[in-house]
């Protein structure tokens, strides 16, 4: 192995349920990876969804040790940078030394809706930075003892970066979007919510000796500013031009479409893509990925191996012979914005067996993506390919279902953990391993397979999707009645967290 082959980036992804760490070579090879989970703290008042940032750090340490050991077994390593991306908008009250002084308020937390609305009105803007300010404003009132000890209120990846480097910053695609001290004051807060804005992909500083020892790295290693993990996934999936779309996978699921010029679609989120001259529209679901976990672990009690379920599902014809599953086990965000939406198998007969149920769950995830994408298509924004990412991208059956349901070519990347590759892309550019982000994508993202839609499957799924699309409206009155019978008084998200309200675009 040459010196060039040994050059790697340590990519950190602070997810909602687990930390992932990858050792990624500058050609995009995943030389080693590790994962460690942590709990979501849901007890107490309705809408609470917090996490312990010290548990994040422990998970990162364990995952890094696993990833580095695996990578080292493949040959020598020469780390050139470290970059952390993560969940958001998640707020961390942080001391000057990078230690959290209280729990992180995660993006699943629903207690600061009023404060966020007030901040948005005061600043005349929206987005995750406004949500962070709303969470900080609620924390200052609800937990003044915690808020008073914080030197900074930071996003999750910025919190980790401060712990790594001692530098407080707000890493953004465009630093001009940072919350200023004046913005913070107009929102009812102070400069603790306004760390200096820096560009994602720029070097924040060198890795401090303490964290270096804990992670098994050399002090002084360049630490590169990260970004929200969804944006990192756009990079790691290889999106570079208008007309390309992404299935973000994961627990919730999501859809994004690159555009050459910004287009405002009221029912979708609009933002700047992480490449100059491009924007995107899209939205996130609430639990399409989690639905399969629920079916395997809860409905079937873990008694059937996932591989067996997929084999049974593959033997069932497209559209599950008239069976449709609604994946609204956690309410639904885009495009319904309905916290009372509930899951359902519709069309069950004595003919349907376990394979039909399994296939219907897989098909529902594809229907949900098509449902979110529908407003973009109706606005004249077609897309020609869908890049799939995350654990779901490992299933050829599932990828084929998505190709047929959406009637587009599905692109499967060689490394499905696109958020890690995205973090590595930013790290490689920051360390000078590639001249810019576009060049890094070209060098580090590779296609493993392309799946074209099957015309017969497309026709079947067009008919089934028409049913899926109208079922929510037909079942809404029943869902309201069932919610009244729920002792919790509201819908619940995976793991038991309550979901009293969902954000509108």
pLDDT tens digits along 171-207? 998 888 899 999 999 999 999 999 999 999 999 999 9
pLDDT exceeds cutoff 50 at 505? no
The per-residue pLDDT for 24 is 98
Packing angle, helices 455-485 and 354-378, rounded to 10 = 100
Q: Which string of DSSP letters, residue by residue, matches 165-181? A: HS---EEESSGGGSPPH
pLDDT exceeds cutoff 60 at 126? yes
| More confident of the two residues 501 and 50 | 50
pTM: 0.91
Question: Over pLDDT 70: what percentage of the chain?
Answer: 95
Phi/psi for 469 (5° steps) reads -65, -30
The per-residue pLDDT for 489 is 44
Is the separation of the CB atoms in 18 and 36 below 8 Å? yes
The per-residue pLDDT for 5 is 79
| More confident of the two residues 370 and 175 | 370
pLDDT for 239-265, tens place per residue?
999 999 999 987 788 999 999 999 999
Cα 396 from chain centre:
22
Ranking 28-37, 412-421, 490-499 by mean pLDDT, the lowest is 490-499
pLDDT exceeds cutoff 90 at 95? yes
The per-residue pLDDT for 3 is 57
User: What burial class does residue 2 get, using C-beta atoms within 10 Å of its C-beta: 0-12 exposed, 13-18 middle, 19+ buried?
Assistant: exposed
Assign 53 a pLDDT band (cuts: 50, 70, 90).
very high
The per-residue pLDDT for 495 is 38
Is the separation of the CB atoms in 312 and 354 below 8 Å? yes
Is the separation of the CB atoms in 414 and 25 below 8 Å? no
Assign 216 a pLDDT band (cuts: 50, 70, 90).
very high
CATH 3.20.20.70 is held by the domain 228-408+453-505: no
The per-residue pLDDT for 407 is 98
Assign 398 a pLDDT band (cuts: 50, 70, 90).
very high
Cα separation of 123 and 177, whole Å?
Answer: 12
Packing angle, helices 418-430 and 437-444, rounded to 10 = 130
Q: CA angle at residue 446 from 442 to 448, to 5 degrees? A: 160
Which tokens hold the place of 194?
């306004």
pLDDT exceeds cutoff 70 at 366? yes
Secondary structure class of 237 (helix, strand, coil): coil
Cα separation of 366 and 355, whole Å?
Answer: 17
pLDDT exceeds cutoff 50 at 494? no
Which has the closest alpha carbon to 238: 401, 407, 389, 433? 389
Which has the closest alpha carbon to 310: 363, 388, 387, 253? 363
Domain ranges of the chain: 3-227, 228-408+453-505
Assign 487 a pLDDT band (cuts: 50, 70, 90).
low
| More confident of the two residues 67 and 493 | 67
Q: Could you tell me the end-to-end alpha-carbon distance of the chain, in angstroms, rounded to an integer?
A: 50
The per-residue pLDDT for 500 is 31
| More confident of the two residues 271 and 143 | 143
Top-ranked range on mean pLDDT: pick from 45-49, 330-334, 355-359: 355-359
Average pLDDT, the chain: 92
Residue 80 makes CB contacts below 8 A (sequence gap 6+) with 7, 8, 9, 26, 221, 222, 427, 428, 431, 433
Is the separation of the CB atoms in 420 and 22 below 8 Å? yes
Question: Parallel, antiparallel, or unpaired: how do β-strands 244-247 and 385-388 relate?
Answer: parallel
Is the separation of the CB atoms in 287 and 494 below 8 Å? yes
- Given the candidates 3.40.50.1100, 3.40.50.720, 3.30.420.40, 3.40.1160.10, the CATH classification of the domain at 3-227 is 3.30.420.40
Is the separation of the CB atoms in 22 and 33 below 8 Å? yes
> Tell me, what DSSP letter sits at residue 196?
P
- CA atoms 355, 357, 362, 364: torsion sign: positive
Residue 102 makes CB contacts below 8 A (sequence gap 6+) with 93, 139, 143, 146, 147, 149, 150
Phi/psi for 445 (5° steps) reads -110, 125
pLDDT for 9-44, tens place per residue?
999 999 988 999 999 999 999 999 999 999 999 888
Ranking 27-41, 162-176, 363-377, 491-505 by mean pLDDT, the lowest is 491-505
Residue 378 makes CB contacts below 8 A (sequence gap 6+) with none
Phi/psi for 346 (5° steps) reads -120, 130
Q: Which string of DSSP letters, residue by residue, matches 391-452? A: GGGG-HHHHHHHHHHHTSEEEEESS--HHHHHHHHHHHHHTTSSSSHHHHHHHH--EEEEEP
Assign 4 a pLDDT band (cuts: 50, 70, 90).
low
Question: Does the N-terminal peptide bond of residue 335 adopt cis geometry, omega within 30 degrees of 0?
Answer: yes
Assign 154 a pLDDT band (cuts: 50, 70, 90).
very high
């Amino acid at each position: 192995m040459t010196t060039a082959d040994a050059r790697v980036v340590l990519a950190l992804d602070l997810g909602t349920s687990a930390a992932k760490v990858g050792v990624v070579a500058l050609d995009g090879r995943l030389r080693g990876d590790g994962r460690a989970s942590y709990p979501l703290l849901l007890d107490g008042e309705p809408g609470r969804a917090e996490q312990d940032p010290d548990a994040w750090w422990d998970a990162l340490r364990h995952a890094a040790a696993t990833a580095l050991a695996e990578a080292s077994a493949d040959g020598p390593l020469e780390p050139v940078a470290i970059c952390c991306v993560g969940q958001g908008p998640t707020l961390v009250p942080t001391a000057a030394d990078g230690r959290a002084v209280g729990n992180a308020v995660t993006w699943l937390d629903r207690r600061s809706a009023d404060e966020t609305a007030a901040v948005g009105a005061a600043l005349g803007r929206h987005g995750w930075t406004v949500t962070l300010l709303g969470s900080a404003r609620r924390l200052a009132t609800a937990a003044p003892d915690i808020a008073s000890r914080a030197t900074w209120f930071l996003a999750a990846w910025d919190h980790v970066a401060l712990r790594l480097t001692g530098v407080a910053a707000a890493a953004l695609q465009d630093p001009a979007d940072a919350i200023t001290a004046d913005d913070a004051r107009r929102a009812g807060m102070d400069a603790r919510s306004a760390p200096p804005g820096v560009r994602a992909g720029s070097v924040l500083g060198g890795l401090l000796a303490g964290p270096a020892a804990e992670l098994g790295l050399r002090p002084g290693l360049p630490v590169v500013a990260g970004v929200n993990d969804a944006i990192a996934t756009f990079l790691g999936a290889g999106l570079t031009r208008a007309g390309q779309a992404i299935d973000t996978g994961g627990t919730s699921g999501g859809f994004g479409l690159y555009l050459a010029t910004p287009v405002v679609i009221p029912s979708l989120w609009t933002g700047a893509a992480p490449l100059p001259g491009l924007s995107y529209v899209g939205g996130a679901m609430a639990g399409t990925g989690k639905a399969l976990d629920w079916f395997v672990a809860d409905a079937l009690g873990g008694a059937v191996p996932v591989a067996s379920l997929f084999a049974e599902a593959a033997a069932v014809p497209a559209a599950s012979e008239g069976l449709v599953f609604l994946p609204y086990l956690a309410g639904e965000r885009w495009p319904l914005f309905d916290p009372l939406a509930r899951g359902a198998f519709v069309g069950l007969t004595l003919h349907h067996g376990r394979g039909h149920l399994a296939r219907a769950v897989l098909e529902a995830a594809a229907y949900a993506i098509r449902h979110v994408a529908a407003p973009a298509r109706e606005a004249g924004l077609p897309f020609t390919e869908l890049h799939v990412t995350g654990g779901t991208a490992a299933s050829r059956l599932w990828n084929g279902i998505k190709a047929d349901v959406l009637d587009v070519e599905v692109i499967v990347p060689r490394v499905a953990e696109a958020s890690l590759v995205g973090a590595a892309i930013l790290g490689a550019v920051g360390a000078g391993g590639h001249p810019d982000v576009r060049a890094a994508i070209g060098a580090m993202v590779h296609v493993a397979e392309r799946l074209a839609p099957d015309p017969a499957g497309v026709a079947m799924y067009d008919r089934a999707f028409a049913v899926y699309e109208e079922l929510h409206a037909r079942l809404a009155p029943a869902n309201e009645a069932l919610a009244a019978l729920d002792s919790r008084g509201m819908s619940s998200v995976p793991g038991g967290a309550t979901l009293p309200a969902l954000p509108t675009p």
